[in-house]
Structures are given as C-alpha cells and as structure tokens.
C-alpha cells in the first residue's frame, strides 16, 4: 500500500481517483449472446450453459423437490443465522414503506402520489466457489415487501447441475419459488428478452463479473431497468488515536479479500495509528485463505494521514465510498458532514461484515464513486411512484386562466384549448 502524509489539497483529486479499469469491450460478445437467446429462446440459453457452465440442463427451472432437498442439506446453525439476518433485513426494509398524504395545492386541486410495485423483477445471484446466499436476502426481501408480482431468480448451476443449497434455502425463506439454473450473459439476456420458460422482466438486480455487468448495461437498450452501474467493491475507514488498530485492520482486510480489484483506503489524523494498522494487517493477513487476493487489493490501497477529522470527512466525500467506517469515538458528531457514501458504519463495533450480512441495511450499494448520484438498493428500488391529480369544477376555474396563459406563451394552443373548452362549458352551465 502507499502512505501519504498530509498531502496538499491539490493532490486530493489524484488520491480519490479510482484506478482505470481495463476497458475490455465485451459489447460485441454480449450483443451476439442476446441475439441468439432472442432467436432460439431456451435452446439458445441451453447451448451457452453447456458451453460456459459445462453442464447440460434440459429444464432450467428448479423443482420444489430440489428446494426441499436443499433445505435438508443446510446445517441448522446456518439456517438459524440466515433467519436472524432475514428478520433484521425485513424489519429495516419494512419501515421504508411510506404512504404520502394528499396535498390540496390550491382550492379544488388535489395532488398525491401512490406507490406500485414493479411487476416483474429478475434477481441475479452469481455462482462460483462462494455461494452468495446473503445477496438472495438483500434483493429478495425488499422485492417481496414491495409486492412484486413475479420475482425470478437466476443463478448458474455447478458442473453437476445443482445449485448451492444455502442459496435455495434463502430463496424459499423469502418466498421466491421461481428459480432458474441459468447464469452469465445468457441469464441476463433471458431476463431482458424472455424465453419460453424465463419471463421478460421489468428490472434486473444483482452483482456479477464483468460479463454480467456488461450484459446488464446492454439490457438497458432493451427497455429493462437495472439496479445500478457496477464497479469493484470498496471501503474507506477513518481512524484517530481512539481507534482500535486490530479492528481497523480486520475491516480493511474483509474488503481486500473480495477481489484483487477491491479498493481499500484508510484515513487517519494519527501517523502512529497508520503504522499500527499496517503492522496488524501483516499479522492477520498470514492466516487468511484468500491471502493472495487480499495482497493484490492492498497493493492498490492508500493510507493517508490528514490534519483533522474534518479533513478526513472532506476527502471521503470527494471519494464517495461504497462503505464508510467511522472507527473512532466521536463518530456520531460527524454524521451531518457525510454527503457521499453508500452505507456508513458508526463506531468501533460497527464492522462492515455486520452490514454485509445481518444488521438490516442492504449490501447492494453504489461503487466506483456512484455514491455521489445513486442510492443503494432499498424498498424504493422495487417500486414506482405514480402521481395523481384531481381538479374539481372550481379547481379548474381557479387554476385554468394561469394554465391558458402559460400554454399560450409556450405556443401550445391545443394545451390551452383543453382548459378553455372546460371553462366555457362551466360558464354556460
């Protein structure tokens, strides 16, 4: 990692830049898979599954027997843990449902908003060695609270054609029963366009590798919405002399083990703390199974000493981290200064893993600086808000003349007429 002591503000721009991603253009590959799936439907999907996942799947839909069997395979301790997380995530996301009141903007003119679930949503859960059942909870629970009509889950099969039992357990726990053994670009292509068995959805959620990410961007051109643009995961920790260096090191490592491209930044007012965290990292790193990935990520990371906590917050806002940990005693005093972040962890016992799994907040968050202009996934991500207005006769009589004047000034005379014709009818009534 690189250490910077009191860098001048001119250098901040450089320090808050993400490393350039290798701009591998996957568009052509993605477009051709979309085209094949559009043309051949299930058969097209099947071909790619055989090719990429090395298994022949004739009926991609997971049966209820498979779900039952999987649930039997999950150890009770893991089931209990997942149920604890499920309860907390449900509790927090349930409070995000709000009913807005009707506003009478002027006499006889009532305006309000109502919430409707997005009807069909597709959740993508990556496969591979680490089964991300936690993401099933993070996407499935708000989808289910929102009341989406159809919640479709796609996840790649392993070489023996099975799905990790914990994924199926988490899915049935949150009430998802429509699960397809389909992964990669072909899964996104199927969700975006529909096949004989997989429905075309309105919005696609979920993490994935660069291929899945490229496919989700491409899905936008098919009229489908996506949760948010994706990038490597990242954490920024702010520490002062009250922080615990072993806790800070553990948090930085838990981010670093995600992937070689993970971003890890430590800001501190104390140079001694930076050194102590570095020493702690070396100690803890040694016993990690994913040590090599973590070392790669740490090579890109920065340790930065700044004069004041205020400055640390300022730099953090410029960086706009996905995860922000305020690992010092006076953390709460600095909350109002946070302007750009995905999810924030307050105080020394609030580790990122808590939010990743079980505190109740969502772990699908904006990366790559997108915390400047996007929120993380929440109940809001699964609904639309429709506006309504109701004008009474007296409402249009009071407001109508202003509309006529404005419409005429914009040279939209039919817009004006729609008011005039009503005012005339009322005058003659």
* Positions marked active-site: 322-323
Considering only residues 246, 270, 275, 278, which one is a binding residue for a second copy as defined by CB under 8 A? 246
| Binding span for a second copy by CB under 8 A among 30-38, 177-185, 190-198, 342-350 | 342-350
- Residue 5 Cβ vs a second copy, minimum distance, rounded to whole Å: 27
Between 6 and 102, CB nearer to a second copy: 102
Kindly state whether residue 328 participates in binding a second copy, applying the rule CB under 8 A: no
| Binding span for a second copy by CB under 8 A among 43-51, 188-196, 268-276, 373-381 | 373-381
Kindly state whether residue 299 participates in binding a second copy, applying the rule CB under 8 A: no
Between 178 and 244, CB nearer to a second copy: 244
| Binding span for a second copy by CB under 8 A among 1-9, 186-194, 267-275, 406-414 | 406-414
Binding residues for a second copy restricted to 20-59, rule: CB under 8 A: none
Count of residues in contact with a second copy, rule CB under 8 A:
128
Considering only residues 59, 114, 241, 333, which one is a binding residue for a second copy as defined by CB under 8 A? 114
Considering only residues 2, 11, 39, 91, which one is a binding residue for a second copy as defined by CB under 8 A? 91
Kindly state whether residue 294 participates in binding a second copy, applying the rule CB under 8 A: yes
- Residue 91 Cβ vs a second copy, minimum distance, rounded to whole Å: 5
- Angle among Cα 243, 372, 322 to the nearest 5 degrees reads 40
Kindly state whether residue 283 participates in binding a second copy, applying the rule CB under 8 A: no
Considering only residues 284, 295, 296, 311, which one is a binding residue for a second copy as defined by CB under 8 A? 284
| Binding span for a second copy by CB under 8 A among 28-36, 153-161, 239-247, 300-308 | 239-247
Handedness of CA 286, 290, 296, 298 (dihedral sign): negative
Kindly state whether residue 244 participates in binding a second copy, applying the rule CB under 8 A: yes
Considering only residues 72, 289, 307, 427, which one is a binding residue for a second copy as defined by CB under 8 A? 289
Binding residues for a second copy restricted to 145-204, rule: CB under 8 A: 166, 202-203
Considering only residues 118, 158, 160, 191, which one is a binding residue for a second copy as defined by CB under 8 A? 118
| Binding span for a second copy by CB under 8 A among 41-49, 65-73, 101-109, 269-277 | 101-109
Considering only residues 161, 229, 259, 278, which one is a binding residue for a second copy as defined by CB under 8 A? 229
Considering only residues 13, 159, 409, 427, which one is a binding residue for a second copy as defined by CB under 8 A? 409
Tokens for 244?
Answer: 């615990």
The span from the CA of 306 to the CA of 205, in Å, is 38
Yes or no: say if 308 and 238 are a contact pair by the CB < 8 Å rule. Answer: no
């Amino acid at each position: 990692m690189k250490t910077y002591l009191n860098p001048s503000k001119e250098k901040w721009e450089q320090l808050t830049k993400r490393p350039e991603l290798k701009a591998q253009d996957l568009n052509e590959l993605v477009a051709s898979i979309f085209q094949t799936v559009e043309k051949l439907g299930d058969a097209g999907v099947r071909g790619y599954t055989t090719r990429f996942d090395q298994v022949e799947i004739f009926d991609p839909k997971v049966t209820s027997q498979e779900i039952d069997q999987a649930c039997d395979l999950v150890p009770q301790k893991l089931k209990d843990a997942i149920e604890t997380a499920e309860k907390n995530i449900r509790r927090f996301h349930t409070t995000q449902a709000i009913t807005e009141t009707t506003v009478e903007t002027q006499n006889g003119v009532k305006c309000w908003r109502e919430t409707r679930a997005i009807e069909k949503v597709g959740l993508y859960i990556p496969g591979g060695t680490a089964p991300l059942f936690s993401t099933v909870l993070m996407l499935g629970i708000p989808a289910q609270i929102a009341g989406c009509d159809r919640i479709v889950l796609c996840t790649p099969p392993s070489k023996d054609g099975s799905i990790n039992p914990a994924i199926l357990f988490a899915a049935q726990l949150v009430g998802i029963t429509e699960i397809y053994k389909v992964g990669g670009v072909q899964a996104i292509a199927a969700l975006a366009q529909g096949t004989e068995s997989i429905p075309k959805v309105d919005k696609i959620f979920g993490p994935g590798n660069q291929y899945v990410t490229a496919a989700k961007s491409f899905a936008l051109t098919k009229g489908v919405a996506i949760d948010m643009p994706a990038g490597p995961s990242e954490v920024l920790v702010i520490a002062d002399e009250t922080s615990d260096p072993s806790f800070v090191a553990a948090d930085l490592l838990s981010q670093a083990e995600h992937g070689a491209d993970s971003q890890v930044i430590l800001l501190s007012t104390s140079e001694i703390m930076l050194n102590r965290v570095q020493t702690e990292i070396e100690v803890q790193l040694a016993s990690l199974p994913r040590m090599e990935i973590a070392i790669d990520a740490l090579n890109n990371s920065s340790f930065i000493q700044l004069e004041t906590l205020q400055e640390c917050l300022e730099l953090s806002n410029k960086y706009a981290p996905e995860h922000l940990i305020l690992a010092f005693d006076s953390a709460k005093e600095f909350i109002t200064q946070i302007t750009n972040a995905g999810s924030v962890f307050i105080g020394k016992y609030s580790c990122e893993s808590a939010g990743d799994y079980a505190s109740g907040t969502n772990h699908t968050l904006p990366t790559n600086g997108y915390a400047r202009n996007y929120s993380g996934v929440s109940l809001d991500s699964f609904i639309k808000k429709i506006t309504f207005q109701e004008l009474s006769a007296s409402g249009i009589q009071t407001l109508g003349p202003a509309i006529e004047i404005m419409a005429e000034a914009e040279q939209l005379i039919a817009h004006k007429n729609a008011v005039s014709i009503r005012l005339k009818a009322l005058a003659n009534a």
